[in-house]
């Protein structure tokens, strides 16, 4: 299909921005505000593509940007948000005031990936690297076409399935959204690469995946995750309360009757899961009906 370019490339500058260009852009936006990026370059006297102006403003010139190194707390929050949202950098950035999606994306690729690998955690799935290798061997497990748990939170869906299959667990969940597996979908599709075989009728499947991803985004936006309101709480972060440490062996019965166990996340309320709350059930994860979005084991 194709579409016309957003600007006449022959008459636009590319590459690094000069101080003068920056100043023109700042002055223009101060005077006229953001918006109408297409016409902005001409109005501001810039030989730049509107998109380029927008990116320069959002990623570099905006006055509310927080420059400087990421803190340890920000690191952990990014990791936890990524485990929930996947490569949804804009959503992650939305939870980190003063940080941009581009900045977080770069930081992820250059620092956090390595950090997680150093911890023995796969940066894409947030599963222990050892477990991934083991799963390759143990792929014969019958989950009746359901997605295997690939993320800490997705583990909850396994707990749900286990409950649905009338096998015993030590968990007692108040309310759980049954659609948690789409977290994984969002995670896989957003990266543009999938590790699983693509089914036929790709466009239809892609549409479905996008819809699921969108639904998940809506769900995720409901979650009370963010540095802001919980900043004071985050100081309570302890190594024993990390997402990784919430993994536990959960026994379940296969359809042939044998009992196996798998590493899944403990079911905890989201704030506890993210380390912003201590062990008590918290109001942050309570929805308007008085139910908790996530729960924790009664025996914890």
Partner DNA sequence: AATGCTGACAACCGCCAGATT
Partner DNA sequence: CAATCTGGCGGTTGTCAGCAT
Indicate whether 249 belongs to the interface with DNA (CB under 7 A).
Answer: no
Dist. CA 182–CA 215, nearest whole Å:
8
| Separation CA 41–CA 36 (nearest Å) | 10
> Which of 266, 54, 31 is CA-nearest to residue 153?
266
Beta bridge partners of 253: 259
- Residue of the chain from 32, 38, 42, 283 that contacts DNA (CB under 7 A): 38
C-alpha to C-alpha distances, 298 to 172, 178, 221, 243, 246, nearest whole angstrom: 7, 20, 27, 18, 14
Q: Give 270's contacts (C-beta < 8 A, 6+ positions apart).
A: 223, 224, 225, 284, 285, 293, 294
Span of 104-112, 240-248, 272-280, 285-293 interacting with DNA by CB under 7 A: 104-112
Which DSSP state fits 262?
E
110 binds DNA (CB under 7 A): yes
- The interface region with DNA, picked from 102-110, 174-182, 230-238, 274-282 by CB under 7 A, is 102-110
Of the residues 25, 41, 44, 50, which one makes contact with DNA according to CB under 7 A: 50
Query: Can you spell out the DSSP letters for 110-147?
Result: IIIHHHHHHTTB-TTT-SBHHHHHHHHHTTT---TTPP
- Judged by CB under 7 A, the residue of 80, 96, 107, 267 near DNA is 107
CB-wise, 62 or 167, nearer to DNA? 62
Please say which residue, 90 or 224, places its beta carbon nearer to DNA. Answer: 90
Cβ proximity to DNA: between 99 and 246 the closer is: 99
Site for DNA in 190-219 (CB under 7 A): 190-192, 207, 210, 214
Q: Rule CB under 7 A: choose which of 32, 42, 51, 119 binds DNA.
A: 51
293 near DNA (CB under 7 A): no
Contact between 260 and DNA per CB under 7 A:
no
Site string for DNA, 11-30 (x = CB under 7 A): --xxxxx-------------
CA gap 287, 240 in Å, rounded = 27
Taking contact as CB under 7 A, which single stretch among the options 7-15, 236-244, 253-261, 270-278 is the one that binds DNA?
7-15
DSSP letter string over 26-40?
HHHHHHH-S--TTTH
The span from the first CA to the last CA of the chain, in angstroms, equals: 56
Residue 11 or 51 with smaller CB distance to DNA: 51
62 near DNA, rule: CB under 7 A: no
Q: From CA 255, how far away is CA 161, in angstroms rounded?
A: 13
Among 24, 80, 82, 88, which residue interacts with DNA (rule: CB under 7 A)?
A: 88
Residue 25 or 243 having the CB closest to DNA: 25
Summarize as ranges the residues that interact with DNA (CB under 7 A): 2-4, 6, 9, 13-17, 35-39, 49-52, 54-56, 59-60, 87-91, 101-103, 105-107, 109-111, 190-192, 207, 210, 214
């Amino acid at each position: 299909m194709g579409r016309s370019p957003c600007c006449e490339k022959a008459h636009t500058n590319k590459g690094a921005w000069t101080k003068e260009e920056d100043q023109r852009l700042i002055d223009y936006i101060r005077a006229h505000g953001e918006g109408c990026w297409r016409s902005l370059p001409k109005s501001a006297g810039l030989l730049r593509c509107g998109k380029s102006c927008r990116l320069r403003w959002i990623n570099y010139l905006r006055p509310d940007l927080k420059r400087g190194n990421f803190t340890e707390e920000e690191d952990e929050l990014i990791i936890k948000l990524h485990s929930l949202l996947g490569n949804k950098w804009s959503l992650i950035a939305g939870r980190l005031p003063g940080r941009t999606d581009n900045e977080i994306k770069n930081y992820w690729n250059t620092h956090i990936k390595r950090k997680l690998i150093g911890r023995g955690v796969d940066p894409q799935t947030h599963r222990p690297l050892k477990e991934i290798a083991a799963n390759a061997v143990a792929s014969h497990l019958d989950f009746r076409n359901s997605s295997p748990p690939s993320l800490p939170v997705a583990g909850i869906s396994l707990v749900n399935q286990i409950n649905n299959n009338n096998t015993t667990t030590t968990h007692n969940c108040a309310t759980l959204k049954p659609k948690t597996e789409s977290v994984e979908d969002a995670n896989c599709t957003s990266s543009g690469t999938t590790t699983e075989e693509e089914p036929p009728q790709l466009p239809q499947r892609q549409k479905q995946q996008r819809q699921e991803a969108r639904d998940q985004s809506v769900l995720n936006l409901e979650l009370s995750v963010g540095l802001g309101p919980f900043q004071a709480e985050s100081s309570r972060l302890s190594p024993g309360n990390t997402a990784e440490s919430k993994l536990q062996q959960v026994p379940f019965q296969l359809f042939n009757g044998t009992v196996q166990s798998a590493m899944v996340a403990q079911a905890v309320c989201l704030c506890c899961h993210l380390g912003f709350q201590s062990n008590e059930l918290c109001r942050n994860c309570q929805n308007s009906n008085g139910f908790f979005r996530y729960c924790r084991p009664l025996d914890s």
